[in-house]
Amino acid sequence: MGTMRLYVGNISFKATEDDLRELFSQAGEVVSVKLITDAATGRLRGFGFVEMSSDEDGKKAITMFNGKQFMDRSIVVNEAKPQEKREHGGGFRQRSGGFGGGRGRGERR
């Protein structure tokens, strides 16, 4: 039950969301496809997310496409970790360490 969100990496810059949708629909029902673009340049960053309608379809897609050739690139497909969960517990400590630490002060000198 529920959908499964997949991380897809090493995608060809020529690929479109439709290309990915077509590929992943071979494994099952595709709920959504999102290619990530660079906010500054608007160019594709070579990765994205595909949401499959079930865990079963998601696992099938990982098995079928992880490491497979897609538009001359060997794509990486695995389960995307939900961001909400990652922020609880350990996540906070790492992030606060990144800001206030000695690094910022050292650079100003």
Residue ranges of domains in the chain, CATH in brackets:
4-98 (3.30.70.330)
CB 62 within 8 A of CB 9: no
46-70 average pLDDT score: 98
Q: Could you give the dihedral angle defined by the CA atoms of residues 75, 78, 82 and 85, in that order, rounded to the nearest 10 degrees?
A: -130
Q: How confident is the model at residue 73 (pLDDT cuts 50, 70, 90)?
A: very high
As given in the structure block, the two tokens for residue 17 are 């969301």
Residues ≥6 apart with Cβ < 8 Å to 20: 8, 11, 33, 35, 48, 50
List, for residues 26-54, the tens digit of each pLDDT value. Answer: 999 999 999 999 999 999 999 999 999 99
Q: Where are the alpha helices (DSSP H) in 5-87?
A: 17-24, 55-65, 83-86
